[in-house]
A and B are shown apart, each in its own frame.
Chain A
Amino acid sequence: MKLSADTYRIQQDFSRFIRTGRQVPVPGVKPAAMAHYRRLVYNVVCDALETGYPIAFANLPRKKWERMVYKFFSTHACTAYQVWKLPLDFYTCAVENSWDEQYDIPYLYDLLSFEWAEMELYNMEDQAPPAYVPGGDWLSDPIAFNQEYRLLHFKYPVHREVGRRRLLNQVGAYFVLVYRMPDSGDIHFTELSPWLAFVTEQLLAGITLTDILAYAPQLNMVVNNKLQEDTIAFLQHLREKQMVMGFIKQ
């Protein structure tokens, strides 16, 4: 490398200051101007995280949020070269450092993954659905899904509660399907029962509803007409929401 060790170290010192806000003597630098760099950079980081995690930002105790953001930017090497992906770096950093325990926010990962899924889906590249036809049989045909979705599993109902006590009182198993509307690009989500989450997962894997229903007794499900009708009604609802596109004909 053509860069001298000295210049390299100066750039590292300057960067360390930008990331931590802790003044380091760098030759020839005006400290007051340096503080502006720190302010400008940190504003970008705070803005990106507040935009990416509006629920977390508005509802977590402000002191904890600020400590997390500071810790994040000063210790985590941000890999995102696109600012909109910075929230993913934050989420990764939280998990790597067990911030749910450290900051005593048991529902932290559920909340971050919910909000990140929304951001990611809104921006992510278009995913073509498999080839499909509009008409078919809900029971015997494989179903063609919109591929722009995330099926999330939470321990806390972060998709409908924000208060700490209410969240902690409702520990359970929650399934949420988040997806992007093909026409508008808007993000919608819907809560699924454990059964419908299982059905969705299996259908997405190409299994037919008939085969899923045949397996249902092993999940202690009572298979009757009502279950079948309710499941098909759910799929029809997903079709109205453009999450189900049609049927795959072999």
Chain B
Amino acid sequence: MVGIGFRRDFAAELLNGDQIRPDFIEFAPENWMNIGGYWKKQLHKAVEKYPVLCHGLSLSIGSPEPLDLDFLRYVKSFLNEYRVQLYSEHLSYSKCDNAHMYDLLPIPFRKDAVAHIAERIMQVQDFLQRPLVMEIVSYYTPVAAEMSEVDFIREIVKASGCQLLLDVNNIYVNAFNHGYNAREFISQLPLDKVAYIHMAGHEQVAPDLIIDTHGQPIIDPVFELFEWTVQRLHPVPVLLERDYNIPQMGELNGELQRLKNICQQHWHKHYETVG
């Protein structure tokens, strides 16, 4: 299954399905819950046409302050109402001192943060009655780290039992920004816990810094890293993220097709036995 993020900018094309035809769509509950009017009608059409996965933005699992249970109640009823098959979020924080900041901020890689986050993941999983799939985010600077990033992630997964969203572009971006080997990093992850893959484009803004913009096509080295990764995983859904600089649908569909081809090439045995 290769899907695409459902964006208002090309919702009409997705609903029409002539020029672009993903296997599923993904959207953020925050962008769609408790809305009505024109966009609610479009949402209903989309949900009728495509299977839906959700990718949250505002949970802020790494926040120091308590979880927002009112928010979680809305998320829960939204996920149930739209029969969402998978709910993922980010290993980051976007809220501190009860102020939302609308971006994914890097958590200090520390033991106490591991314990704090693992406890919160379990709390959310209990509340939602479903597993959380946590994305390894791109980040531009470490913050007061006392352990390696990969150990930080492994320990959270171990302590919380959560699953992982492996954004291959994020790993590429992080490897570049922080000078490590992307393949080595991926090899050290608990790959049996990967339940979902993201793919996206990025932008290099300085000789030593790439920003994860979701505004460009996926570059070849990220496709290569994806192909290498796919061979080490069981089949999972793969998502193309494109949030800005939306190109012609033919171009996006081309990227979807390229991802599909890679998946089919390496996962065909699974597809044959499963389907």
A81 adjacent to B100 (CB under 8 Å) = yes
Q: What is the 8 Å Cβ interface bit string for chain B, positions 36-71, against chain A (1 contact, 0 not)?
A: 111111000000000000000110001110001001
Query: Cβ of A197 < 8 Å from any Cβ of B?
Result: no
Q: What per-residue 1/0 map shows which CB atoms of A12-43 lie under 8 Å from chain B?
A: 10110011000000111110111011001100
Decide if A78 touches B37 in the complex (CB within 8 Å): no
Q: Which of B30, B35, B40, B62 contacts A81 (CB 8 A)?
A: B30
* Chain B interface residue bracket vs A: 35 or more
Known contacts A7-B108, A8-B64, A123-B36; is A15 also within 8 Å of B96 by CB? Answer: yes
A28-B145, A36-B205 known; A185 vs B102 contact (CB < 8 Å): no
- What are the 6 tightest A-B residue pairs by CB atom distance, in nearest-first order? A185-B38, A77-B99, A185-B37, A15-B96, A126-B36, A33-B141
**Considering the chains assembled together, what is the distance between the CA atoms of A37 and B101 in angstroms?**
10
B34 and A28 form a contact (CB under 8 A): no
B108 in complex: contacting residue of A10, A41, A83, A122, CB < 8 Å = A10
Say which size band chain A's interface belongs to: 35 or more
Quick check: is A101 within 8 A (CB to CB) of the other chain? Answer: no
Whether B115 sits at the interface, judged by CB under 8 Å, is yes
A28, A44, A79 interface centre (most CB from chain B within 10 Å): A28
In chain A, what residue has the closest Cβ to B112? A4
Nearest chain B CB to A100's CB is how many angstroms away? 24
CB-CB under 8 A from A122, the residues of chain B are 37-38
Bound-state CA distance A19–B98 (Å) is 12
Does A205 touch B at the CB level, under 8 Å?
no
Find B141's partner among A11, A30, A41, A121 (CB 8 Å cutoff): A30
Binding site for B on A (CB under 8 A): 1-4, 7-8, 10-12, 14-15, 18-19, 26-30, 32-34, 36-37, 40-41, 44-45, 48, 76-84, 86, 121-127, 148, 180, 184-186
Q: Does B93 contact A (CB under 8 A)?
A: yes
Cβ 8 A contact of A125, one of B36, B99, B108: B36
Q: Mind listing 12 A-B residue pairs with CB under 8 Å?
A: A1-B116, A3-B113, A10-B144, A27-B143, A28-B143, A29-B142, A36-B140, A77-B99, A124-B36, A125-B34, A125-B35, A126-B37
